[in-house]
A and B are shown apart, each in its own frame.
Chain A
Amino acid sequence: MELYTPVLALLALAAGFAIFSVAVSTLTGPKRYNRARLDSYECGIEPTPQPFGGGRIPVKYYTVAMTFIIFDVEIMFLVPWAVYFDQLSWFGLIAVVLFLFNITLAYAYEWRRGGLDWD
């Protein structure tokens, strides 16, 4: 754990700086109330109502998010294999190629179904 504790020093510094900046800007800046200024910025027109309070917005990014998780887990599997590659030799290579083949099949299927298309 010795290796990880110095990170906390940098974390504390950075967090202190960030919180200080956010706090100090409320003190240094002017405060003049103006209803229009506190409105959402929308090119000068009346802003569209927002879906706060239980409304929902259709987010098309969910396929990207799910595919990302699959690939990210895949990378996590590849990292230890890459580090111990020389010891694992052919066994490791064949196992990983089979694993990648499975992933590639699912990837090709998603591609074919249009899950990666953007419209």
Chain B
Amino acid sequence: MNAVSLPLVTGPSLDSFGLDTVWVVLLKAVLIFAVLVVLTLFNIWFERRVVARMQHRIGPNVNGPFGLLQSLADGVKLALKEDIIPTRADKVVFILAPIICVVPAFVTFAVIPFGPEVTIPFTDTVTPLQLTDMPVAVLFVMAIASIGIYGIVLGGWASGSTYSLLGGLRSSAQMISYEVAMGLALISVFLFAGSVSTSEIVAAQGDLWFGLILAPAFIIYVIAMVGETNRAPFDLPEAEGELVGGFHTEYSSLKFALFFLAEYINMVTVSALATTLFLGGWHAPFGIGAIWEGANEGYWPLLWFFGKVFFFMFIFVWLRGTLPRMRYDQFMDFGWKRLIPVALGWTVLVAVMRLITIEETFDRQSLLITLGVITGLLVVAMFVPSFGAARDEAETEEPDAPAKPAGAFPVPPMPATGAVRGAAPPLTFADSGPRPGPAQAEES
């Protein structure tokens, strides 16, 4: 346990930041921007190729070597398409929404550590491979990533279309639900690292990755990150069978491309954050680090970093190629009733275990009593779910769910004119005989 409680500090710490000259900052910003754009083009190609292989197809292979330029061709094609602003749209918000969505996606990468301190070629300037770091870097990522949700919900609302509105609302509800589980999973990492700065969290994982000692938090994070990025099997905001395209149904041309860009950058961001917090960031995998001294020096860490990011990207694609889409209520139940209680219990458990490890003068009896209290709380937390689970089962047995009891949670009443003011009245037919078909189902 010594390795756990006293991590070996390697690599840059917070003191290494804020010393760059203006041109170094600009160079790093331009590089990060370029890497993200190229990575998005590559990831779209990568996803299409891998999914194609999983479905016994070939995938794009015409434009460029192995079809690598396919995404670029698609981007150019989108730029040459008509830029449609629907007549019902709120024009200002409609145009602003893709910008609000894509800018935070880029900005979050400012604090992701790509590697240790390196010398810029042809100069003797030494700088960390990270634009900047701050004492609250991980919180910065979470906060900025949340701003992207505004882009989605505003885009959905401003389109003036029912599908867009529903898609936008679903998307925001989904993202905030899984953000809670994600945030709780990160607490145990902060606890072990003793810091919220990304470079220091990477440094704290010099000899043991948090993904191994905090495996449950890692698993919760990985599940939550798939929900957070609206990817299969949690891609409900874009469920084609229900919502057409979701919040970007009405978007076309480069505005649509910006939403697409934001989605793929967000995938890279959560993967990079998972790498940083759980898989040792830019540190070389154990075996390589042991046999090769220089594995963690110079520009080699970029290889390990992007290798780990692509591992997560492959998982994203793999999930999409394997799993069907979840139902919305199952999805929300899973987030609120499974992930969050487990994450809460895990946080308390980790805190107790950590304290027992670092407190040497410890009385065994008080340990037992404390553990008893904690277990009691956990049992209480687990007992309440069993009520909900029992009722869930009862409800799923009857497909026609009965009306809620009088004491149910309040839901705002529908306006008297129906779901939407001024909506067309429901279809009625002259002959009142039994008619099969959807019209009948709607009336009943």
Contacts and interface: CB of A to CB of B under 8 A. Distances in A.
A-B interaction:
yes
Interface of A: 2-7, 9-11, 13-15, 17-19, 21-22, 24-26, 28-32, 37-43, 46-52, 55-65, 67-68, 71-72, 75, 78-79, 82-86, 89-90, 93, 96-97, 100-101, 104, 107-108, 110-119
Nearest to B135: A3
B165 to A, nearest CB: 7
B441 interface: no
A114 to B, nearest CB: 5
A90 B361 CA distance: 12
A2 B133 CA distance: 10
Given A3-B133, A64-B177, A118 B332 contact: yes
Given A22-B99, A89-B355, A101 B419 contact: no
B303 interface: no
Q: Interface SS of chain B: helix, strand, loop or mixed?
A: helix
A7 B132 CA distance: 7
A115 B409 contact: yes
Contact of A71 (B340, B347, B381): B340
B345 to A, nearest CB: 10
Q: Interface SS of chain A: helix, strand, loop or mixed?
A: helix
A39 B103 CA distance: 28
Contacts of B80: 28-30
B255 A113 contact: no
Given A40-B86, A41-B161, A113-B407, A22 B98 contact: yes
Contacts of A49: 420-424
Contacts of A55: 420-422
B328 to A, nearest CB: 7
A118 B169 CA distance: 14
B348 interface: yes
Given A3-B17, A14-B33, A85-B351, A25 B83 contact: yes
Contact of B84 (A15, A28, A38, A115): A38
B359 interface: yes
B329 A119 contact: yes
A78 B63 CA distance: 50
Contact of A38 (B86, B387, B407, B411): B86
B32 A58 contact: no
The 10 A-B pairs at the shortest CB distance, nearest first, are namely A2-B18, A14-B106, A118-B329, A25-B254, A82-B190, A40-B161, A9-B29, A75-B183, A6-B132, A55-B421
Contact of B377 (A15, A29, A97): A97
- The CB with the most chain B CB atoms within 10 A, among A31, A82, A85, is that of A82
B409 A63 contact: yes
A55 B160 CA distance: 13
B203 interface: no
27 contacts: A4-B132, A6-B28, A9-B25, A9-B29, A10-B106, A10-B131, A14-B106, A18-B98, A22-B255, A22-B258, A24-B79, A24-B254, A29-B79, A37-B84, A40-B162, A42-B163, A49-B423, A57-B419, A58-B413, A67-B336, A68-B179, A71-B340, A85-B351, A90-B355, A93-B355, A97-B377, A108-B381
